[in-house]
Structure 1
Amino acid sequence: MKKLFRNLAVGLTGFGISMSSVTADEWRFNNFLPETRPESTELEQFVAEANEALGGEVSLKLYSGGSLGLPNTDTLRFLPKGAVEMSLMWANYLGRDAPALSSVVVQGTIGSIEEFEKAIPTVREIYEEEFADWGVSSVGYVAIPMLSVSVFCRDEAVRTIDALKSKKLRVWARDQVETFTRLGVAAQIIPQEEMYVALKTGVVDCALYPALYAHTVSLQEVAQYASFLYPMASGPYVIGVSTDRWDATDDTIKQALTSAADDLWDRTNQYEDDFERELAARENLVEGGVTWGEDFSQADRDLFVSSVTETWKMLAEEAGGNAPAYRERVLKALGR
């Protein structure tokens, strides 16, 4: 399947990109995250540092918020073909083409910073191996904070899994669909950029989302109530470049890019202040009109974790190939 996708002829204009408008020394960096996200600010600094080191020989230009029209789920199709020179990638968005990637870290299975720090080196190794098989070189990483995921609802406070069973819930990845389905909750994947309208128009009643980022999508305007459900560690975002392009790139350019990428990782791979920032984000949402309710009970959270654990095993077995071995490597790193 990987070879098939690499050999497919991709019509670049179909992705909304005109190659004639790109200069030979410009590397377009596709960032699917909104400009308002903290990670986008970090990526802007990465680009600035890299460009300073490159001295004009090559220049990076960051395109955020999906402005290039490249679906994040299609990265393994457009990046090896050169639709852009560089792109941010998140493994959990790529499960359609690379099922093994989406089962490396299933969200909700790692619930503490201490556990996550044990797993990160192994997760990075797995990503490098898997992306290489798709013709993509992993040249940098952006750590994702240890997030607190909450249930935001439009018209009614929901603080129990039983109450959630009568609601339509927005999620962002298949593992969440499977986990909530096990719990009897109707969940559907709705992209981040469509979530606001989906809540406003009643397509869904509630949305799963981290409070830390809620303001970046104006969630407080369409959700009146929120309650914390579970902590979530995620594998890092990966900065990818076509392996063919990377192999053909001058070593001095590679060094400038990897040095800036190392600085980016060092800046973002910090978790000490995550909970304080979470609490501050909740306070800001309350000021914006959100009623912050009691957390889901420990019993409900334990039930959720049990469902996630079953989902992780199921997805790895279903994906086949390297997926079960990847899961075992992560479990070993966690000491389980």
Structure 2
Amino acid sequence: MKKLSCILVFLIFTLGLTFTAGAEEKISIRLGHIRDTNHPTHMAALKFKDMVNQKSGGRIEIKVFPNSQLGGPKEMFAQMQTGDLEMVYGGINTFAWIKGGEAYEITAIPFLFRDYSHMSKALLSDFFKPVQEKAEKDSGIKIVTINGDTAPRGLSTRDKPIYKADDLKGLKIRTAASPTVLTTMKTLGALPQQVPFSELYMALKTGIVDAQENGAIVVQSASLFEVQKYYMKTDYIRDVETFYMALPFWKKLSKKDQEMIFDAAEKSGNYETELTLKQLGSVYDTLKTKMTVITPPQLDLESVRKRLEGAFDSFEGTKWPAGLLKKISALK
């Protein structure tokens, strides 16, 4: 009888463990981004996938969709807002393109950030925290981490070099769908065009547009040097890759899973930063063999700064909170 009781206790204990393990249901997360599979963004997304899979023991599955397979940033954000997509990995600049994220237009102001460190400090500062919290609430999208450094944006053209502000007049240039960037180009006399990134190569090749503004790593990884002759290293806009998650989905996760996602995202963003810094030197060396690369002091960037003075005054207090620009500029 005693032996039978021991067996029953053992069986009940075993069944209890089985039930507890089974109670943690499997979670499937789709993650989209716009970069090609050679870009550090994709490498970081794959690292995130592997880390989450390992940390969760395979319970949480991340499916990565690169190269705008799920649409551009605006389309993917919209899918998150309707509950049709769980995650996006993309620039913080693009968060401004959706309702609720307009304050992040400030991140696309040319020459606002001295370097990545300055940008990171600003976005993670106490004075920026209320901006982020309001944007998350209004958009329904959670900013998980902001720490994947990307190459600063420059300018490439098909048939003429750009040295100063006046050279941009009449230039058909593909730009990001950002009011700040559009205002920048229009103020400089250029003709900004909207072309999905997945169609950019052919648009440059066929002359639908003559120029584009992206970082050197994008120019190399997307082989844009094949359809562009000049690259101007203006470093005029900085961006940082950000892991986004649909806020309702985030709230449904257990605290343990939230911490796991955050940790994996932070490490993956740091990994992209490392890749970017390692690649930049060799990328410029490679581009110099395929294009004419023009750098300061050949570039008269001061003429661009002067032309843009006052261009964004109407955004102060409308797109972003009044006084925010001054706080960012004063940050050491």
The reply to whether TM is greater than 0.5 is: yes
- The equivalent of 1:102 in structure 2 is 105
- Supply the AA of the counterpart residue of 1:65: N
- The equivalent of 2:66 in structure 1 is 64
Give me the whole-angstrom Cα distance separating, in 2, the residues matched to 1:124 and 1:47. Answer: 29
Shift of 1:196: 1.4
- The equivalent of 2:9 in structure 1 is none
Specify the SS of the correspondent of 2:250: helix
Following superposition of structure 1 onto structure 2, how do residues 295-310 of structure 1 map, counting pairs within 5 Å? 295=296, 297=298, 300-308=300-308, 310=310
Unaligned runs of 5+ in 1: 1-22
Q: Provide TM-score, normalisation by structure 1.
A: 0.78
Counterpart among 241, 260, 285 of residue 256 in structure 1: 260
Following superposition of structure 1 onto structure 2, how do residues 309-328 of structure 1 map, counting pairs within 5 Å? 310-319=310-319, 322-328=320-326
Taking structure 1 as reference, are residues 89 and 280 closer, same or farther at Cα in structure 2, changes over 3 Å only? closer
Shift of 1:259: 1.8
**Larger-Rg structure:** 2
- The equivalent of 1:139 in structure 2 is 144
Specify the SS of the correspondent of 1:111: coil
Q: Provide TM-score, normalisation by structure 2.
A: 0.79
Taking structure 1 as reference, are residues 283 and 75 closer, same or farther at Cα in structure 2, changes over 3 Å only? same
Contact 2:32 2:87 in 1 (8 A): yes
- The equivalent of 1:285 in structure 2 is 287
**Deviation per residue, 1:190-218 (Å, 9 max, x gap):** 33222212211112222222222211211
- Supply the AA of the counterpart residue of 2:84: A
Shift of 1:65: 1.4
Taking structure 1 as reference, are residues 54 and 114 closer, same or farther at Cα in structure 2, changes over 3 Å only? closer
Counterpart among 30, 33, 43 of residue 32 in structure 2: 30
Counterpart among 82, 100, 114 of residue 111 in structure 1: 114
- Supply the AA of the counterpart residue of 1:120: L
Taking structure 1 as reference, are residues 44 and 142 closer, same or farther at Cα in structure 2, changes over 3 Å only? farther
- Supply the AA of the counterpart residue of 2:321: A
Contact 2:48 2:265 in 1 (8 A): yes
Matched pairs, number = 303
Coordinate RMSD, CA, aligned: 2.9
Contact 2:77 2:98 in 1 (8 A): no
Counterpart among 135, 149, 159 of residue 130 in structure 1: 135
- The equivalent of 2:198 in structure 1 is 193
Q: Does 1:51 align with 2:53?
A: yes
- The equivalent of 2:20 in structure 1 is none
Give me the whole-angstrom Cα distance separating, in 1, the residues matched to 2:71 and 2:26. Answer: 20
Taking structure 1 as reference, are residues 143 and 311 closer, same or farther at Cα in structure 2, changes over 3 Å only? farther
Taking structure 1 as reference, are residues 202 and 294 closer, same or farther at Cα in structure 2, changes over 3 Å only? same
- The equivalent of 1:17 in structure 2 is none
Q: Does 1:156 align with 2:160?
A: yes
Counterpart among 42, 45, 53 of residue 44 in structure 2: 42
- The equivalent of 2:209 in structure 1 is 204
**Deviation per residue, 1:80-130 (Å, 9 max, x gap):** 322012222434323353422222452432133453343231387333441
Give me the whole-angstrom Cα distance separating, in 1, the residues matched to 2:273 and 2:284. Answer: 23
Identity level (%): 17
**Deviation per residue, 1:253-285 (Å, 9 max, x gap):** 2222122123224434569x84x7434212212
Taking structure 1 as reference, are residues 96 and 313 closer, same or farther at Cα in structure 2, changes over 3 Å only? farther
- The equivalent of 1:221 in structure 2 is 226
